[in-house]
């Protein structure tokens, strides 16, 4: 039996993924036709990007699963026509890229490298940084991305705390969970990394109250989702010196508008949503593995919990 796999994403993605998916299907020995168009009732699987033109899944009555190309599913999980199993992207390449981005910026702020990189005049003024063992780093979100970052930072000697909706256990990491756990995880945090999914419960999770719990002069790194932060509260905390710097990769509106105050604030580093990318080769292998698992009656990798929202 030949499976029909519909690729539903913007046209520029097809040129990137066609060869990688075809190779991954062959490698996994999947007998599958990868197509851009098909009669809806003949489609077995949909490889999907939420910005695709496909928004109504009602006619895809034979579809066994929708395989998201993005790690985030907040733009699709609420689609009431999508009743098929939905899997978010869990890509080893994406995870590796996120670990590198987070580790780089944690080390940048830990070692206070901006002090030297951004010098505008000759100034020989050495300052001894803390050792990692004396620095508290807290990560909100301990899924595939956050858990990998927590493990890496703990291996470097940092005092790592992690917070997640459900209780997790990671070697070398003090873990906290929803409810009072956030108020327990934040106090004394010197570097805060945001990698929790965006849900109704996590939107504006970093508000004025949360910011006040951090160590004075703390740094925030957000490669997760823009709406996790109350922007006005962050700007106020920067003005009050409660926060010394924010490195932001994601925003409520993208591209970040040219007149947004983040652009010209020396206490804010803006990167244009580059913390991590879905890597076609490794992502295609994950998609092929999920189709294979589905055909074997096994649970999907990254299966979305509709009630939780991720």
* Residues known to be catalytic: 225, 273
CA–CA dist 281, 196 (Å, integer): 25
CA–CA dist 265, 141 (Å, integer): 27
CA–CA dist 138, 190 (Å, integer): 8
CB atoms inside a 10 Å sphere around CB 151: 17
Check if the beta carbon of residue 159 is closer than 8 Å to that of residue 188.
Answer: no
Q: How far is CA 75 from CA 48, 51, 159, 197, 280, in A?
A: 12, 8, 34, 12, 21
Q: Which among 292, 287, 306, 293 has a CA at the least distance from the CA of 66? A: 287
- DSSP secondary structure code for residue 75 in this structure: T
Q: Which among 205, 208, 206, 197 has a CA at the least distance from the CA of 166? A: 197
What distance lies between CA 130 and its chain's CA centroid?
28
């Amino acid at each position: 039996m030949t499976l029909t796999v519909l690729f539903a994403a913007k046209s520029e993605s097809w040129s990137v993924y066609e060869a990688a998916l075809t190779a991954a299907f062959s490698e996994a020995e999947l007998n599958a036709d990868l197509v851009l168009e098909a009669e809806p009732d003949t489609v077995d699987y949909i490889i999907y990007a939420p910005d695709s033109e496909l928004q109504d899944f009602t006619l895809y009555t034979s579809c066994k699963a929708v395989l998201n190309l993005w790690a985030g599913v907040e733009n699709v999980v609420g689609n009431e026509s999508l009743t098929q199993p939905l899997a978010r992207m869990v890509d080893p390449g994406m995870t590796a890229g996120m670990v590198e981005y987070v580790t780089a910026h944690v080390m940048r702020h830990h070692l206070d490298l901006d002090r030297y990189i951004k010098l505008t005049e000759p100034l020989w003024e050495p300052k001894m940084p803390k050792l990692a063992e004396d620095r508290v780093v807290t990560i909100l979100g301990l899924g595939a991305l956050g858990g990998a970052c927590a493990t890496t930072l703990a291996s470097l000697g940092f005092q790592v705390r992690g917070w997640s909706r459900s209780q997790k256990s990671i070697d070398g990491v003090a873990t906290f969970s929803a409810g009072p756990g956030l108020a327990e995880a934040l106090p004394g945090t010197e570097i805060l990394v945001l990698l929790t999914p965006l849900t109704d419960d996590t939107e504006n999770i970093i508000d004025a109250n949360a910011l006040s719990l951090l160590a004075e002069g703390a740094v925030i790194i957000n490669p997760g989702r823009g709406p996790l932060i109350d922007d006005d509260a962050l700007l106020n905390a920067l003005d009050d010196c409660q926060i010394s710097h924010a490195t932001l990769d994601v925003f409520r509106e993208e591209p970040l508008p040219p007149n947004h105050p983040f652009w010209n604030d020396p206490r804010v580093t803006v990167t244009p949503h580059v913390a991590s990318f879905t890597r076609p080769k490794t992502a295609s292998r994950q998609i092929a593995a999920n189709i294979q698992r589905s055909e074997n009656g096994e649970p999907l990798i990254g299966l979305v919990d509709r009630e939780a929202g991720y």
